[in-house]
Structure formats: C-alpha cells, structure tokens
Structure 1
C-alpha cells in the first residue's frame, strides 16, 4: 500500500435438483504477467488529515478532511485537493464502486462498518480528537481510499474523482442498501452456505479450486495472526498502565526513605518506569495502527475476494438457467401449432442471445478475477514484508530505548549505601 502524503491519523437454478452441477467451461489460464512500469511522474496519495464534529443534536456527525496529492493521473487538473466528507459519503462511494466494478471481477476494498459506539460518542463526547476508536476509523477510511486510488481500473473513476475533488456534498448512492454492512455480510455468508448445500457445484477450472483452498488457508492464518496482534496490543497497554502505577508507588516510597542514596535510587527507578510506561504506551499504539489494523485490512480484502467469486458463480447460475430455458423452448417446437411457431422462434432467439452473452460474461469475469488475484498476491507479499519489517524495527527501537533507561539507572543502584 502506498504511503500517505504524511503521517496520518490514525440463476437461479432448481433448488430441488440433487444432481451436482458442473461448470463445463474450458480452463482459462491467467493472463501473462505484465511488467510494472509506473511512470516516475505519477503521484497519487490520499490521507485523512483530521476530523471534527458537526451538526445539531439530531444530525450530529463526524466529518473527515481528505487531502489528495495527485500528478500525472487523467482527470485531475490540480496537484492538491482538500475536501470534507462525512462517513455516509464514504459508504456511498463504496456502493457506487461495487455497483460498477464487482460484476467485472474487480476486488473492491471494504470500508469500516458503521458502529453505534462512534455515533454515541458524536452525540455525547466533547473531546474526540484523540479518541482511539475514532482515530481507528479515520485510519481505516484512509486505507480504503488508498486501495481505491492504487487500482489501475478504479483510480480514474468519475465517482472517486468527484469524492476527492468536489468540495460540495455529493449525491447519495441510488443503490445504497437499507441494512448495515455487517448484517449484509452475515446474510450473504448464510446464503453462501445454503447455496453450497442445495446447489452442489463441481469446479472444473482447477485454478479456482486451488485458489479457493489457498484463500481459506490464508484467511485462517491471518485470523490467528490478528488475534495474537490484538493480544499483544492489549498486553502493551497493560504494561504501560502497570508501569505508571508502579512508578507512583516508587515515588511515594522515595519521598519517605531516610537513606539518601536509596532515596535517589528509588527516584531514578521511578523515572525509569515512567519513561518505560510511555514507551510501552506508544508501542501499543503503533502495533495497533501499523500491525493489527494492517492484518485486519487483509482479512477484509479476502472477504472482497469471496464477494467477487460469489458474483462469478451467480453469473454462471444465470447462464445455466438460460441454457435450460433454451432447451425447454426448443423441445416445444414440435408440439406447438403453426400460429405460435413465430413467437416461439423469437423467444428461442432472445434466450440464445442471453445465454451467449452470459457465457461471454462468465469467461471474461473468470479472466479478470485471475488478473486481480495475481495483483493481490504481488501487493500482499510486498505489504506483508513491509508490515513485518516495520514491526521488527519498532520492537528493536523500543528495546534499545528501554535498555538505555536501565543503563542510566545502574549507577544509582551501585551507589546505594544501607
């Protein structure tokens, strides 16, 4: 994922048919890997610079300042743009992009889910600029936008361009669902399970069969990694809190100690734990923003892959439905009277066109998904390397700083005279 401009905030088929359906399509190999030759002059970066609370009591909401730096991208005439967007506008943008690109096989990043806790804070809290949950949403929104602008098929989209450049409020999406994203995901997940039980499909394209196993394994491993990352963040926060409490106790003890050398040592130890607690607290924030949230983003991208693959299966179902309808219509030709033959031939012609169109759409989507997965894998390898390198460097830096604090304390401990 590209770096931010600067440091950011952070068909239906017969459900009663028990016979397994087969995707009788030729195995389509992935398109040849294209050399990546980005123009050095192209710049496209987005960051959420800040956010603030606006509106009255019945319409209170957060708005986010979106800063865009762009050069060498079609449709953008200026080098910098600055817009304010409310959360619902991010959701509308996602719905517009999904409506246009998912049926084309494009993997679309997931935006953050709508949370009642954030809405409650908008209505009640007075100081929200450093609220961890709101900062986390801002970082998620920034990652969402940067994923969109990095995609070669989406970066010049007119809705995305308007979102980044038009200062006025944007019209709402006409395809926005009436239920939340989380409820919609749960419903789709339940539907997928039912489909797998009632519509058994034998995938003849071995590429998709192998890829599906790979995605499931990756999802399982990332969920384990995310759980450990969240646990590590909580552990760091607990260390910081306990370090602060210990420092306070040591400070009181130093003030009541008669021995000068012991009092000085306890005072120095107090300072050591106070600064260590500050390092652990900062470390927890960085691990959450740059490690746990980054892994969570890839769990969202795997969800997007499942969405686009489900769309491919839906196209296949529509194609098979048209094929079955065509066979039924042709079987009627020998039984209808001459007056209805013309009308029946017209229906056969239209159904055949629909079948061919759906078959072509299915083949094109299969090719597009393979290209998307290849791109996803390339980015994942690079991103994971950067995430882990940054995590290790942060750990080393923190341990070095804490070691220096104890080196500074050592002379005081050596001078203790009892």
Structure 2
C-alpha cells in the first residue's frame, strides 16, 4: 500500500488496481491484452483489511479471521410449506491464532461452518448488549439494488454469494478490530464453538431485552429537551444515506452506458473479422483490429466485477448510517425515561406540599371535593399521607438518580464511539473513492491503448 500524497495521515490506495497501467504511448500487442484479461478473469476481492483500523490490543491484531469458502446445502430433515427441501448456503469461518496468542482463543487453527442466520444472531446480540456501539452491519441477505428499489429472484447467484462471503468476512474483521466487541465471550464462541454456541447466546437472555428494546424504539414520544448532538447525528445519518444512494444511482447509470459501449465494440470486432475474410490486401489489418475490439469488449466484465466490489464497500455505509440512527434512538429512549422520572418526582413533591398545606391546591381535585363535603382532613390522616408520599419521593429520587447515571454513561460511551466511527468513516471513504478513481483511470487507459493500436492497424493497411 503506497501513500498517494506523501502525507502519513492520507489514505493508502490499492497498488494492484494500477498494476496493469503500462504506458500507452507505445503499441500494445494482442497477446498483452489477452494476458491482462486472463489475469483479471478471477474476480478481485475488496481489500477489507486495508479499510479496517486495527487498534492496539484488539483481537484482529492477534488472530487472523477469514471466511474462506461458501457451500450450498440441502436440509435433509427440514422442508418448506410447499413440500420442497430447504436449500441454504453455509460459510466456512476460519481463525488462526498468531504467535503472540489471542485473548483466550487458545492456539492453532479452528474452522467451522456458519449460516447467514447465525451471523444475524450474533449481530442482534451485539446490538442489544452494546447499545451505545455503532455495530458493523452485515451484507444484504437478498440480492437487491437499494437505489433502484428492485429485488432479484435468484438469491443463490454465484457472484452474489461470493460478494456476500466477502462482506461477512469484513463484518467479522470489523468486530474483531473493535476494542469492546472483540472481547465479548459470545463472539469468541462464534469463532470456535459450532455445536453449543446458539444455546450460549440464548442463555444470555438477550432476546427478552431485544423485544423490550424494539417496543421502546418503536414507541412514539416527544422529548422536552432533546440532545442537540444526537439530533445532529441523526440528521447526518439520513444525509449520509441520501448522498451514498445518489452516488450509487449515478454510478449505475454510468456502468450501464459503459457496458453498452464495450459491447458495441464487440459488434465492431465481429464486423472487422468477417470483413477480413473478403479483403486480401487489408485482411491482416482488419483481423488484428477485430481481435483488439474483442479483447476490449471482454475487459468490461472484469472491470465491472471490480467496480461492483468497490460499490459494495460504499453500500456498507448505508447500513452503517442505520446503526448510527439506532444509537441515536436509544439515547432518545433514555432521555425520555429520564424526563418521565423527573416529572414523576416533581408531581409527588408537589402533592406532598399540597397535603402539608405549603402549596395551593389545584382549582379542582378529588381531595378538595372530599374536604368540602366531609370537612377538613385530620392531622393523623395528613401525616399518614405525607409519610407515604415521602417514601414514594425517595423511590422517585433513586429512580431519577439511576436514570441520570445510565443516561450520562450511555452518552459518554456513545460519543466516544461516534468519534471512532468518524475517524473510520473518513479513512474508509477516502480509500474507496481513491480506488474508484484509479479504476476509472485504468479503464480509460485501456481504451486509449486499444484505439492507439487500432490506429496502427489501419495505418498498416
């Protein structure tokens, strides 16, 4: 990884994306183009590790975490409602402890198969247990184009499954690089315990907390004093999603046009090849031109594979924005509970003052009506009511103190997490856009090289 600007804080770029960018001033042979196409035939994977800031003391620093393979399986015992066997995909999760050892993961190498639903279970557990953390998102479960609001039929498409495998690996690596999440025992069990892991997750009781959390997050309420910082963060998350979606829409239009242009070159190649069969003097030049056109046409498939992988990295931040909104929503719930606790304490305090006669009663109240009908209450009755109210006030004060401490602790931890996210976001997005720009330069240079060679072919006719 080389630095583009020379600034140590600047993001590094993927040198492999520039490996095919030879000088186009001289002619390029058909063999060179064929070798480049063959080299790029195998889809390149997103360089997730280069996007992940591996901090000191984290699990990823001591353990290699990979999702190396995927496999389609058919359930022998389970069948769908239509009587068809359940078909699903499993992914091979491998961990390899480095020489320095790895935080209770033992030694050596472990590998086990996990379904996508198990990744979902792990993430749900992390979201509930560490509500202040912006938990890394999972890749999409179904093959969708969010910016076109479309869904494809085949979720077992080989290219999509491969991209999802890479996304799942990125998720595990991001969790392993997080200073808090990487120390969780359930996460360690996910990497090492295939049989008893689900039971260990459910034994934590997180599901009940999740149901309660979902109810509170879906509740509608209005805060008296919303926290401006979290309001701004929520608005930023919405803007981030909108901006990335807009970029992906433009990118999809450009790819469609570019794909069409390259396929038109294939038509040129076919015409030149057929033409060379009826022209004796120009036959060799026309045939060479046809070969160059065919090579240029085939190159678009490799280019699109690389661009789709870069787009997946960018799309990840659409889901990161959802995780940021979730943290903001949790802060709103805590703030609302704090305000309710304060209102209840104020109401009980006022009620006590009214019973003691230190505060005017409301214009209409049940106690006032009873006093007018049956006469004023006795001192013993007032003392009994005061004692009960004092006990309730003490409980309210304890509840308010606890709610205040919980809210303050959450805000402090969440703001630290937000700062970490901002740093990660800046580094990641710079890296992604630099790699995308390099990819555009590469495809442009390829076009220049093809047409330069085409010009040489026509001049030799």
TM-score range relative to shorter protein: 0.7 to 0.9
1:77 equivalent in structure 2? 106
- Give the gaps of 5 or more residues in structure 1: 11-35
2 CA distance for matches of 1:37 and 1:285? 31
Bigger mean CA offset, 230-239 vs 90-99: 230-239
CA distance in 1: counterparts of 2:137 and 2:283, whole angstroms: 56
Q: Spell out, residue by residue over 1:212-259, the C-alpha distance to the aligned partner (whole angstroms, 9 max, x if none).
A: 55444434332222222333333344344444344334433333x2x2
Equivalence for 1:28: none
3-state SS of paired residue (2:105)? coil
Task: Specify every segment of 5 or more residues in structure 2 that has no aligned partner in the other structure, as ranges.
Answer: 1-10, 14-42, 48-53, 76-83, 145-150, 356-380
How much does 1:148 deviate? 1.4
Report what 1:58 is aligned to: 85
CA contact (8 A) 2:231 2:328 kept: no
Aligned to 1:364: 409
Structure 1 equivalent of residue 56 of structure 2: 38
TM-superposition CA deviations, 1:201-221 (whole Å, max 9, x none): 444x55445545544443433
SS in 1 for 2:93: strand
- Rate the CA distance shift 1:144–1:230 in 2: closer, same or farther, 3 A: farther
Mapping of residues 146-295 of structure 1, within 5 Å: 146-168=173-195, 170-171=197-198, 174=202, 195=221, 199=222, 201-203=224-226, 206-255=228-277, 257=278, 259-290=279-310, 292-295=311-314
Answer yes or no: is 1:331 the counterpart of 2:360: no
Inter-partner Cα distance in structure 2 for 1:369 and 1:261: 75
- Distance in 1 (CA, whole Å) between partners of 2:163 and 2:244 is 19
Q: Does 1:99 align with 2:128?
A: yes
CA positional deviation for 1:171: 1.2
Deviation at 1:315, TM superposition (A): 0.4
1:101-134 alpha-carbon deviations (Å, 9 max, x no partner): 01xx111122234438899647xx6xx5xx2332
Match of 1:109 in 2: 136
- Structure 1 residues 115 and 388, CA, compared in 2 at 3 Å: closer, same or farther? closer
Q: 1:151 to 1:279 in 2, by over 3 A?
A: same
Take 2:135 and 2:424, find their aligned partners in 1: how far apart are those partners? 14
CA positional deviation for 1:176: 5.9
Asked if structure 2 preserves the Cα contact closer than 8 Å seen for 1:8 and 1:48, the reply is no
2:66 aligned partner: 47
Q: Tell me, in whole angstroms, the C-alpha distance in 1 between the residues paired with 2:196 and 2:450.
A: 51
Matches within 5 A, 1:336-415: 337-339=382-384, 342-415=387-460
Whether the 8 Å CA contact 1:9–1:49 is kept in 2: the answer is: no
Query: 1:84 offset after TM fit, Å?
Result: 1.2
Larger Rg: 2
Query: Does the aligned pair in 2 maintain the 1:64–1:84 contact within 8 Å?
Result: yes
Residues 136, 82 of structure 1: alpha-carbon distance in 2 compared, 3 angstrom cutoff: same
Q: Deviations over 1:284-321 (max 9, x none)?
A: 1111102x112211121111111101100100111111
- Residue of structure 1 in register with 2:27 after alignment: none
How far apart are the structure 1 equivalents of 2:152 and 2:94? Answer: 24
Distance in 1 (alpha carbons) for counterparts of 2:152 and 2:255:
25
Question: Do the aligned partners of residues 135 and 37 (structure 1) sit closer, same or farther apart at CA in structure 2, a change above 3 Å counting?
Answer: closer
Is the contact between residue 46 and residue 313 of structure 2 (CA under 8 Å) also seen in structure 1? Answer: no
CA apart distance, 1:61 = 0.5
For the residues of structure 1 that align with 2:91 and 2:426, how far apart are their CA atoms?
Answer: 31
Checking the alignment, whether the CA contact within 8 Å between 2:143 and 2:160 is kept in structure 1 is: no
**Cα distance change of structure 1 residues 216 and 54 upon mapping to structure 2, 3 Å threshold:** closer
CA shift for structure 1 position 271 = 1.4
Deviation at 1:2, TM superposition (A): 12
1:51 match: secondary structure? strand
Residues 271 and 67 of structure 1: CA distance in aligned 2, closer, same or farther (over 3 Å): farther
Shift of 1:74: 1.5
Distance 1:218 1:8, change over 3 A: closer
